[in-house]
């Protein structure tokens, strides 16, 4: 729970919120939970080792009051114990470098706010204070830093000055998922400061837990120099790694095309002979795949890692067809991303002369690959029937349900249910086989049709799984209104989609949103965006649940017959 303090009159609300959040976190945090969040790449034993040398010192945020002295006075008026401000050389220099201003123009202070007695009284919230009076040219720095929170962090006090232990802590931070992010020697406190930041590999952190500060008493020039050298190299290396991402996509696709994952473990020379490829070139590909973590050296050969294992054709929910699709049609489509960004229209049609689904209808081999790739995401469906509020439902209508995977899960979940699958005729042939294999074909009617024009009426539950993200808002609204016209009043509509986050956290939907723009000229949406569309179509959104693979389940109920809502506002 955030504890608010009325100390910030005249101060930006974002600053007060940042302080209140830091204060609340400092009150409840424990070293084990902090390390588990900050260092997800370490196992419990190594985190315990880190904890044995460190103690939680403070939580830090950067704020921008009009006056540092006035801020200190207001804090003290609330009863908080506040130390006198001291200069902050490290943060001042970091701000100066980041915003390209002379360090002398930045009067940055540290204001330490100590927790009251009985509330981890040794802990502190550390405020970095850069005064920004009204009209100050520093307002642009404050605006950017409030958004990015570059200086928000947690600090651990290191209880040893042993150089070997310090080097070990830096190594463990790297192994745990952090990367060097500057530092220095604070002469005022005779303390060496080493900053690290999260690599953002999918782990969601509160804003103040994206960065870590290790505080080591005394001067440690060798440790600091090594840390700063890594910091200087890191941005360039990180950018270069991002720019070579297309190489990784193609390396994985070629490995899948050759069938490498199905032949490992094996020696490179034997593989080259079996596949009829150049031995030296294959050895170089395997070495690259090892650098990405998909394979690992084993003797004079290679074996698959846990990350590479899903590339086997026989793996459950194999990603083999996904690798081929991403390295094939979708890879070529992304070559027209600039066209999509400039025009808002899909890059796929620019490359192939027609939309994705039209192309697939004319190329059965690619359509089969597409279906197989989509099947790799079926773990997303696992909890859906259990989460769905079926009530007394008897008929489930799956709109554009592909091979019927989700529908079969509903029918096997509740033997009282009868299903209707609406798809294009050539897709229904593949669905017929899948439903028979799932043992529920006798309870499912297959209907060939265009769901954008109409759909079977009087179903109790309608399913739209990964359908709406293929369409723009106007087309989505038309589809939802078709559903509203078909489902009985009080009936349910279940939507499965990846939902865009609203808090800036890392999520698969962010990448898929750009993918949908380039491939379909469409988009992913937030839950709130979908709710606006649902209301306009005559539904009420009643629940949202998280699903595996960053999926989301939205459940909506058809309102009693009557006028539908207004056209939703633009996102």
- Spell out the domain ranges in the chain: 13-219, 232-327, 330-375, 378-558
**Given this model, what pLDDT does residue 195 score?**
87
Could you report the per-residue pLDDT of 337-352, keeping only the tens digit for each?
999 999 999 999 999 9
pLDDT surpassing 80 at residue 524: yes
Band of the pLDDT at 303, cuts 50, 70, 90?
A: very high
Does 469 participate in catalysis according to the annotation? Answer: yes
pLDDT surpassing 80 at residue 265: yes
Least reliable range by pLDDT among 38-42, 226-230, 339-343, 370-374: 38-42
Least reliable range by pLDDT among 37-41, 135-139, 297-301: 37-41
pLDDT surpassing 70 at residue 118: no
**Given this model, what pLDDT does residue 5 score?**
47
pLDDT surpassing 90 at residue 387: yes
Asked if residue 75 lies in contact with residue 32, where contact means CB atoms within 8 angstroms, the answer is no
**Given this model, what pLDDT does residue 569 score?**
47
Question: Mean pLDDT across the stretch 186-204?
Answer: 72
Asked if residue 356 lies in contact with residue 285, where contact means CB atoms within 8 angstroms, the answer is no
Report the interhelical angle of 89-99 vs 139-148 (nearest 10°).
100
Indicate the DSSP class of residue 391: T
Which helix (H) or strand (E) segment holds residue 257: the answer is helix 245-258
Q: How many angstroms separate the CA atoms of 470 and 345, rounded?
A: 13
Question: Mean pLDDT across the stretch 423-452?
Answer: 88
pLDDT surpassing 90 at residue 250: yes
Tokens encoding 259: 């069938």
pLDDT surpassing 50 at residue 546: yes
| Residue 153 three-state SS | strand
Write down how long the chain is.
571
Q: Which of 212-216, 250-254, 455-459 has the highest mean pLDDT?
A: 250-254
User: Counting Cβ atoms within 10 Å, is residue 59 exposed (0-12), middle (13-18) or buried (19+)?
Assistant: buried
CATH 1.10.10.10 assigned to domain 232-327? The reply is yes
Q: How far lies 28's CA from each of 17, 18, 158, 215, in Å? A: 17, 16, 21, 21
Band of the pLDDT at 436, cuts 50, 70, 90?
A: very high
Indicate the DSSP class of residue 499: B
In the CATH hierarchy, which top-level class contains the domain 378-558?
alpha beta
Respond yes or no on whether the N-terminal peptide bond of residue 265 is cis (omega within 30° of 0). yes
Which helix (H) or strand (E) segment holds residue 558: the answer is strand 551-558
Asked if residue 209 lies in contact with residue 38, where contact means CB atoms within 8 angstroms, the answer is yes
pLDDT surpassing 90 at residue 311: yes
**Given this model, what pLDDT does residue 205 score?**
45
Q: How many angstroms separate the CA atoms of 519 and 351, rounded?
A: 10
Question: Mean pLDDT across the stretch 304-326?
Answer: 93
Question: Mean pLDDT across the stretch 417-424?
Answer: 92
Question: Mean pLDDT across the stretch 37-50?
Answer: 82
Q: How many angstroms separate the CA atoms of 414 and 430, rounded?
A: 23
pLDDT surpassing 70 at residue 65: yes
Contact residues for 492 (Cβ-Cβ < 8 A; gap 6+): 388, 389, 390, 391, 393, 460, 461, 462, 555, 556, 557, 558
Asked if residue 22 lies in contact with residue 5, where contact means CB atoms within 8 angstroms, the answer is no
Asked if residue 497 lies in contact with residue 530, where contact means CB atoms within 8 angstroms, the answer is yes
Asked if residue 565 lies in contact with residue 538, where contact means CB atoms within 8 angstroms, the answer is yes
Residue 149 backbone class (left: φ over 0; alpha: ψ -120 to 50; beta: rest): left
pLDDT surpassing 80 at residue 233: no
58, 208, 469, 529: the catalytic one is 469
Could you tell me the CATH superfamily of domain 13-219?
Answer: 2,3-Dihydroxybiphenyl 1,2-Dioxygenase, domain 1 (3.10.180.10)
Question: Mean pLDDT across the stretch 406-418?
Answer: 94
Least reliable range by pLDDT among 9-18, 114-123, 416-425, 535-544: 114-123
What's the order of all strands across the beta sheet hosting 295-298?
266-267, 301-304, 295-298
**Given this model, what pLDDT does residue 475 score?**
93
**Strand ranges (DSSP E) for 269-362?**
295-298, 301-304
**Given this model, what pLDDT does residue 567 score?**
47
Asked if residue 486 lies in contact with residue 397, where contact means CB atoms within 8 angstroms, the answer is yes
Band of the pLDDT at 557, cuts 50, 70, 90?
A: very high
């Amino acid at each position: 729970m955030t504890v608010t303090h009325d100390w910030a009159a005249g101060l930006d609300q974002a600053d007060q919120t940042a302080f209140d959040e830091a204060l609340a976190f400092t009150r409840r945090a424990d070293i084990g939970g902090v390390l588990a969040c900050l260092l997800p790449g370490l196992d419990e034993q190594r985190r315990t080792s880190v904890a044995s040398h460190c103690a939680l010192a403070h939580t830090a945020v950067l704020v921008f009051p009009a006056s540092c002295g006035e801020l200190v006075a207001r804090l003290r008026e609330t009863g908080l114990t506040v130390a006198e401000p001291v200069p902050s050389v490290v943060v001042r220099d970091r701000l100066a470098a980041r915003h390209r201003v002379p360090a002398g123009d930045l009067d940055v202070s540290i204001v330490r706010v100590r927790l009251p007695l009985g509330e981890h009284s040794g802990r502190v919230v550390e405020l970095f204070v850069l005064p920004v009076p009204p009209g100050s040219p520093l307002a642009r720095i404050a605006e950017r830093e409030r958004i990015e929170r570059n200086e928000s962090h947690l600090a651990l006090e290191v209880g040893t000055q042993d150089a070997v232990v310090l080097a070990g802590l830096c190594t463990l931070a790297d192994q745990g998922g952090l990367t060097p992010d500057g530092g220095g020697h604070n002469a005022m406190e005779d303390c060496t400061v080493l900053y690290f930041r999260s690599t953002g590999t999918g782990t969601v952190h509160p804003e103040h837990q994206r960065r870590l500060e290790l505080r080591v008493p005394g001067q440690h020039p060798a440790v600091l120099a090594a840390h700063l050298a890594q910091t200087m190299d890191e941005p360039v290396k990180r950018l270069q790694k991002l720019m070579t991402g297309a190489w990784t996509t193609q390396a994985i696709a070629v490995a899948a095309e050759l069938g490498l994952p199905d032949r490992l473990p094996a020696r490179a020379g034997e593989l080259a002979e079996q596949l009829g490829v150049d031995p030296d070139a294959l050895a170089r590909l395997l070495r690259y795949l090892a650098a990405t973590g998909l394979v690992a050296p084993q003797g004079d050969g290679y074996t698959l890692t846990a990350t590479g294992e899903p590339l086997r054709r026989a793996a459950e929910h194999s990603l083999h067809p996904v690798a081929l699709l991403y390295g094939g049609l979708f890879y070529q489509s992304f070559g027209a991303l600039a066209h999509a960004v400039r025009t808002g229209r899909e890059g796929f049609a620019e490359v192939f002369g027609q939309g994705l689904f039209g192309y697939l209808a004319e190329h059965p081999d690619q359509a089969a690959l597409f279906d197989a790739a989509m099947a790799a995401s079926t773990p997303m469906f696992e909890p859906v029937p259990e989460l769905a509020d079926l009530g007394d439902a008897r008929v489930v209508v799956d709109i554009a349900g592909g091979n019927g995977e989700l529908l079969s899960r509903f029918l096997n979940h509740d033997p009282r249910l009868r299903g209707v699958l609406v798809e294009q005729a050539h897709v229904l042939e593949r669905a017929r086989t899948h439903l028979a294999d799932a043992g529920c074909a006798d309870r499912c009617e297959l209907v060939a049709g265009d769901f954008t024009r109409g759909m079977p009426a009087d179903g109790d539950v309608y399913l739209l799984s990964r359908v709406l993200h293929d369409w723009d808002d106007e087309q989505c609204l038309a589809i939802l209104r078709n559903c509203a016209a078909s489902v009985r009043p009080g009936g349910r509509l279940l939507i499965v989609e990846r939902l865009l986050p609203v808090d800036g956290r890392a999520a698969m939907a962010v990448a898929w949103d750009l993918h949908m723009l380039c491939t379909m000229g469409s988009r992913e949406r937030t839950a709130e965006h979908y709710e606006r569309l649902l209301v306009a179509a005559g539904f009420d959104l009643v629940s949202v649940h998280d699903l595996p693979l960053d999926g989301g389940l939205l459940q909506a109920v058809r309102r009693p017959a009557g006028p539908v809502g207004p056209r939703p506002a633009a996102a």
